[in-house]
């Protein structure tokens, strides 16, 4: 993990006992399971069930939910309000490499990792250079006989700041015994690495015209990362050149070195290919310049489809599909609301993830508060439906886009990033400070809705 563990507690279930500032997945999972159990979520969950379609039923003024169960059974249920919480990054993306199926060794996607896979003494290729690839390379470099890293485009990589990521015992002791200590640590972590960081993403046109970085604040980070490259690879070396991006930091997700990633790339038994593979064959990979690399294992750390609900057939008023409304450009009003889709709040909506720092839980907590306020408004007005007006939706999205235009993501067109949709719009991150986003979601603006 490369996001501080303090981010990962929900504000009402703060864990003051993380073992590490960057713990392993199992520890996060244990935390999430404990929250689910504490709130009795399992009892209310239909496991192994896929929501296939959500259709607005005009007659009943409810949503029809068409689902398929684990035994192949089909079901239609009804709800006054739906909150699609299907995420936007959870279908693993395998690259379209010719011959991929012909490989006789082990092919594995990072999202479907097999904990029993033993890489000891193996010739391994890792395709990708994002956060996942970085963590895999760091973890396996001492075991493998040979490692080839295929890097389509480098990320900026910041050095680890502490000698050890282990949380000192005294902090864990305080976190579990001293009231509000864990709240304080969480707040400090959010401030230090989120809003305090906000100037780093803001574009200063005068500065950017003369520098690779986009502002003096952004340049501080650039120099930190460049210094790290020079220290590990030697200034001007071929490896230094290969791992240096040609866009400003934060243009794509910045990576924190778990400790040994850059050092791994410089090892004798590791090669960095600064391109995608050309194709795969039975024995391994053929590089873009025609070299054969024989392999035992190919690890695909190639990410996920960026996908806002296209896998669920969602139809609002008049049978209009959400995919028609959005086309290639997903967008939403506060609370993940879209006109023509009454009583629907999309939880991981477009522009709900903090891009300059902080965790997904922040956006979700802001959202859940806002949705609860909207439901309360409906109850107060004795309304059966709540729907954002077209005008309010367009104004809200226009404001996001106008603010976004002043951020790094709109000034680093060469950076491949999952923040951008196929239509070119920045769709995952919101462009505001956390505190402003939080304030903006305290209470619904009634004039923006049609309540019936």
Ligand X SMILES: Cc1cc2nc3c(=O)[nH]c(=O)nc-3n(C[C@H](O)[C@H](O)[C@H](O)COP(=O)(O)OP(=O)(O)OC[C@H]3O[C@@H](n4cnc5c(N)ncnc54)[C@H](O)[C@@H]3O)c2cc1C
Q: Which helix (H) or strand (E) holds 295?
A: none
Instruction: Indicate which single residue of 347, 385, 389, 403 sits in contact with ligand X (rule: CB under 6 A).
Output: 347
Torsion of CA 259, 262, 263, 268, to 10 degrees: 150
- Residue number with the shortest CB distance to ligand X? 87
Toward ligand X, which CB reaches closer, 90 or 164? 90
Label the pairing between strands 50-57 and 62-68: antiparallel
Q: Which helix (H) or strand (E) holds 225?
A: helix 216-233
d(CA 44, CA 189): 33
Stretch that binds ligand X, among 156-164, 289-297, 328-336, 352-360 (CB under 6 A): 352-360
Q: Tell me if 139 contacts ligand X by CB under 6 A.
A: no
Stretch that binds ligand X, among 85-93, 186-194, 322-330, 335-343 (CB under 6 A): 85-93
d(CA 163, CA 135): 17
Stretch that binds ligand X, among 24-32, 80-88, 269-277, 290-298 (CB under 6 A): 80-88
Q: Tell me if 92 contacts ligand X by CB under 6 A.
A: no
- Provide the 3-class DSSP secondary structure of residue 166: strand
Q: Tell me if 41 contacts ligand X by CB under 6 A.
A: no
Toward ligand X, which CB reaches closer, 132 or 407? 132
- Provide the 3-class DSSP secondary structure of residue 73: coil
Residues 6 or more apart whose Cβ sits within 8 Å of residue 108: 114, 117, 297, 298, 299, 300
Instruction: Indicate which single residue of 33, 85, 102, 224 sits in contact with ligand X (rule: CB under 6 A).
Output: 85
Find the shortest distance in angstroms from Cβ 311 to ligand X. 6
Stretch that binds ligand X, among 120-128, 179-187, 273-281, 353-361 (CB under 6 A): 353-361
Stretch that binds ligand X, among 83-91, 208-216, 274-282, 393-401 (CB under 6 A): 83-91
d(CA 404, CA 420): 12
Binding letters toward ligand X, positions 46-65, x by CB under 6 A: ----xx--------------
- Provide the 3-class DSSP secondary structure of residue 346: coil
Q: Tell me if 89 contacts ligand X by CB under 6 A.
A: yes
d(CA 78, CA 420): 34
Please give the distance of CA 339 from its chain centroid, rounded to a whole number: 26
Length of the chain counted residue by residue: 452
**Between residue 302 and residue 341, which ones bind ligand X under the rule CB under 6 A?**
304, 311-312
Stretch that binds ligand X, among 33-41, 87-95, 320-328, 335-343 (CB under 6 A): 87-95
User: How many other CB atoms are there within 10 angstroms of residue 67's CB atom?
Assistant: 16
Stretch that binds ligand X, among 81-89, 117-125, 366-374, 380-388 (CB under 6 A): 81-89
Q: Tell me if 348 contacts ligand X by CB under 6 A.
A: yes
Pair 88, 428: CB distance under 8 Å: yes
User: How many other CB atoms are there within 10 angstroms of residue 229's CB atom?
Assistant: 23
Find the shortest distance in angstroms from Cβ 23 to ligand X. 12
Q: Per-residue DSSP letters for 171-216?
A: HHHHHHHSTTHHHHHHHHHHHHHTGGGGGGGB--HHHHHHSSSSSH
**Between residue 277 and residue 306, which ones bind ligand X under the rule CB under 6 A?**
304
Q: Tell me if 87 contacts ligand X by CB under 6 A.
A: yes
Binding letters toward ligand X, positions 166-185, x by CB under 6 A: --------------------
- Provide the 3-class DSSP secondary structure of residue 236: coil
Find the shortest distance in angstroms from Cβ 186 to ligand X. 14
Nearest Cα residue to 436 out of 331, 334, 350? 334
Q: Tell me if 86 contacts ligand X by CB under 6 A.
A: yes
Instruction: Indicate which single residue of 15, 62, 189, 353 sits in contact with ligand X (rule: CB under 6 A).
Output: 353
Toward ligand X, which CB reaches closer, 9 or 132? 132
Binding site for ligand X (CB under 6 A): 3, 50-51, 85-87, 89-90, 131-132, 304, 311-312, 347-348, 353, 359-360
């Amino acid at each position: 993990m490369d996001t501080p563990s303090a981010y990962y507690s929900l504000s009402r279930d703060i864990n003051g006992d993380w073992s590490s500032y960057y713990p392993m997945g199992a520890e996060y999972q244990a935390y999430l399971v404990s929250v689910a159990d504490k709130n009795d979520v399992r009892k209310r969950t239909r496991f192994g069930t896929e929501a296939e379609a959500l259709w607005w039923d005009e007659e009943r003024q409810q949503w029809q939910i068409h689902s398929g169960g684990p035994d192949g059974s089909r079901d239609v249920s009804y709800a006054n309000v739906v909150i699609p919480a299907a995420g936007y990054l959870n279908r693993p993306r395998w690259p379209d490499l010719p011959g991929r199926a012909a490989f006789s060794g082990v092919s594995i996607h990072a999202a479907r990792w097999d904990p029993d896979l033993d890489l000891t003494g193996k010739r391994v290729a890792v395709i990708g250079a994002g956060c996942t690839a970085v963590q895999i390379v760091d973890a396996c470099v001492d075991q493998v006989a040979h490692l080839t890293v295929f890097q389509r485009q480098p990320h900026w990589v910041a050095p680890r700041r502490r000698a050890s990521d282990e949380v000192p015992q005294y902090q864990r002791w305080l976190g579990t015994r001293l009231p509000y200590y864990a709240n304080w640590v969480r707040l400090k972590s959010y401030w230090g690495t989120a809003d305090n960081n906000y100037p780093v993403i803001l574009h200063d046109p005068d500065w950017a015209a003369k520098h690779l970085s986009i502002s003096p604040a952004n340049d501080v980070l650039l120099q930190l990362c460049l210094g790290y490259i020079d220290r590990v690879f030697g200034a001007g070396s071929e490896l230094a050149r290969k791992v240096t991006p040609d866009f400003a930091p934060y243009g794509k997700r910045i990576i924190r070195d778990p400790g040994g990633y850059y050092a791994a790339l410089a090892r004798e038994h590791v090669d960095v290919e600064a391109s995608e593979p050309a194709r795969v064959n039975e024995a391994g990979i053929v590089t873009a310049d025609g070299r054969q690399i024989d392999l035992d294992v190919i690890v695909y750390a190639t990410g996920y489809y960026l996908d806002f609900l296209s896998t669920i057939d969602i139809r609002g008023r008049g049978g209009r599909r959400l995919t028609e409304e959005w086309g290639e450009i997903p967008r939403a009003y506060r609370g993940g609301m879209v006109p023509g889709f009454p009583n629907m709040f999309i939880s991981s909506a477009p522009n709900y993830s903090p891009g300059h720092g902080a965790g997904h839980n922040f956006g979700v907590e802001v959202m859940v508060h806002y949705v609860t306020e909207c439901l309360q408004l409906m109850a107060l007005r004795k309304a059966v439906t709540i729907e954002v007006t077209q005008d309010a939706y367009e104004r809200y999205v226009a404001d996001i886009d106008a603010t976004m235009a002043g951020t790094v993501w709109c000034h680093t067109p060469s950076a491949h990033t999952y923040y951008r949709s196929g239509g070119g719009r920045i769709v995952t991150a919101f462009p505001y400070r956390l505190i402003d986003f939080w304030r903006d979601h305290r209470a619904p603006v009634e004039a923006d809705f049609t309540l019936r």
